Chain A
Amino acid sequence: MTAIPLTYYLVVAAFLLCAGLLIVLTKKNAIMVLIGIELMLNAANLNLVAFSRNDPQLNGQVFAIFSVVLAAAEVAIALAILLNIYRKYNSSDLDDLNTLEH
Chain B
Amino acid sequence: MSNPAIHLTLVLLLPLAGGILTYLSGQSMVRRTALVGMVPGLIAAGMLLFMSNDSSITIRFDWLPGHSLGWQVDHVSAVLIALVYFISFLVHLFSLHYLQHDPSIHRYFAKLGFFTTSMLGLLAADHLLLVFVFWELVGFSSYLLIGFWFSQEDKAKSAREAFMVNRVADAGLLIGVILMVMVLDQPFLSELSAVSSSPLVHLAGIGLLIGALGKSAQFPFFGWLPKAMAGPTPVSALIHAATMVAAGVYLLFRVVPVLSPLVMGLAAILGAVTALMAAIAALTQHDIKKVLAYSTISQLGYMVLGVGVGAYQASLFHLWTHAFFKAGLFMAAGAVIHYFHELRHDDHEFDGQDMRNMGGLRKVLPVTHLVYLLCGLALSGLPFFSGFLSKEGILSGAWIWASQTGLWAYVVTDMAFITAFLTPLYVGRQILLVFYGEPRTVVERLQGMEPLWKVKLPLLLLAIASVWVFSAINPFNPTGWWLNAYLFSNDIFRAPEGFDYIEKLTFGLSVVLSAGGLLVSYWYFRPSRSQAYSNAGVPQTWYGRLSYRGWFMAEVYAALAKVYDALVMLSAWFDRKVIDKAVNAVGVASVVLSKAAAIFDREIIDGLVNLMAWLANLVGRLFTGIQSGKVQHQLVWMMVVLLAILLWFQF
Q: Do chains A and B touch in the complex (CB under 8 A)?
A: yes
Residues of A within 8 A of B (CB): 21, 24-26, 33, 94-95, 97-102
* Residue on B nearest A95 in the bound complex, by CB: B630
State whether B636 touches A97 (Cβ < 8 A). no
Q: Does the CB pair B630–A102 fall under 8 Å?
A: no
Q: Which of A24, A33, A102 has the most B CB atoms < 10 Å from its CB?
A: A102
Q: Which of A21, A98, A101 contacts B639 (CB 8 A)?
A: A21
Q: Which of B608-650 contact A (CB under 8 A)?
A: 624, 627-632, 635-636, 639
The answer to whether B630 touches A97 (Cβ under 8 A) is: yes
* Chain B residue nearest to A96 in the complex (CB): B630
Residue of B nearest to A21 (CB): B639
4 closest Cβ contacts across the A-B interface? Answer: A101-B629, A98-B629, A102-B627, A100-B629
Contact of A24 among B627, B628, B632 (CB under 8 A): B632
Evaluate contact between B624 and A97: CB separation under 8 angstroms. Answer: no
Show 23 A/B contacts (Cβ-Cβ < 8 Å), sorted by A.
Answer: A21-B639, A24-B635, A25-B632, A25-B636, A25-B639, A33-B632, A94-B631, A94-B632, A95-B630, A95-B632, A97-B629, A97-B631, A98-B628, A98-B629, A98-B630, A99-B629, A100-B627, A100-B629, A101-B627, A101-B628, A101-B629, A102-B627, A102-B628
Query: What is the minimal beta-carbon distance from A95 to any residue of chain B, in angstroms?
Result: 5
In the complex the two chains form, what is the Cα distance from A98 to B633 in whole Å?
11
A38 CB to nearest chain B CB (Å)? 16
Contacting residue for B629 out of A21, A25, A33, A102, CB 8 A: A102
Q: How far apart sit A102 and B636, CA to CA, in the bound complex (Å)? A: 17
In angstroms, Cα B628 to Cα A95, docked, is 9
- Distance, CA A33 to CA B628, complexed state (A): 18
**Closest CB-CB distance, A14 to chain B, in whole Å?**
13
Shortest C-beta distance, A67 to chain B (Å), equals 21
A102 cross-chain contacts in B, Cβ below 8 A = 624, 627-629
Q: Closest CB of chain B to A96's CB: distance in Å?
A: 9
Q: How far is the CA of A97 from the CA of B627 in the complex (A)?
A: 13
Q: Which residues of B contact A94 (CB under 8 A)?
A: 630-632
B392 to chain A, nearest CB (A): 127
Which of these, A25, A98, A100, A101, contacts B635 with CB under 8 Å? A25
Neighbouring A residues of B636 by C-beta, 8 Å: 25
A94 to B630, CA, bound (A): 7
User: Chain A contacts of B635 at CB under 8 A?
Assistant: 24-25
Smallest Cβ-Cβ distance to B635: which chain A residue: A25
Nearest B residue to A101, CB-CB: B629
| Shortest Cβ distance from residue A80 to the other chain B in the assembled complex, whole angstroms | 17
Give the distance in Å from the alpha carbon of A33 to the alpha carbon of B627 in the complex. 20
A84, chain B: closest CB distance, angstroms: 16
Closest to A30 in B: B631
Q: What's the Cα separation between A21 and B638 when bound, in Å?
A: 12
Complex: chain A residue closest to B620, CB-CB? A102
A95 / chain B contacts, CB cutoff of 8 Å: 630, 632
Residues of B within 8 A of A21 (CB): 639
The interface residues of chain B lying within 8 Å CB-to-CB of A24 are 632, 635
Cβ-defined partner of A26 (8 Å) among B624, B627, B631, B632: B632
- Min CB gap A85→B, angstroms: 12
List chain A residues, Cβ under 8 A from B639: 21, 25
B627: chain A residues at CB < 8 Å are 100-102
> Which B residues are CB-close (under 8 A) to A99?
629
Chain A min CB distance to B650 (Å): 15
Least CB separation from B626: chain A residue: A102
Q: How far is the CB of A55 from chain B (nearest CB, A)?
A: 27
Residues 293-344 (chain B) with a chain A CB within 8 angstroms: none
CB distance from B249 to the nearest CB of A (A): 110
Give CA–CA (A95, B636) in the complex, Å: 14
Q: How far is the CA of A2 from the CA of B307 in the complex (A)?
A: 154
Contacts A24-B632, A24-B635, A95-B632 known; list 11 others, CB within 8 Å. A25-B632, A25-B635, A25-B636, A25-B639, A26-B632, A94-B630, A95-B630, A98-B630, A99-B629, A100-B627, A102-B624
Residue ID in chain A nearest B627 by CB atoms: A102
* Residues in chain B near residue A100, CB distance under 8 A: 627, 629
Q: How long is the Cα–Cα vector from A97 to B631 in the complex, in angstroms? A: 8
Inter-chain CA distance A33–B636, complex, in Å, is 13
Give per-residue flags for B470-487: 1 if the beta carbon is below 8 A from chain A beta carbons, else 0.
000000000000000000
Expressed in whole angstroms, the Cα–Cα distance for A2 and B630 within the complex equals 46
CA distance in complex: A99, B639 (Å):
22
Interface residues of B in 365-404 (CB under 8 A from A): none
Whole-angstrom distance between the alpha carbons of A25 and B636 in the complex? 6
Docked complex Cα distance between A26 and B630 (Å): 12
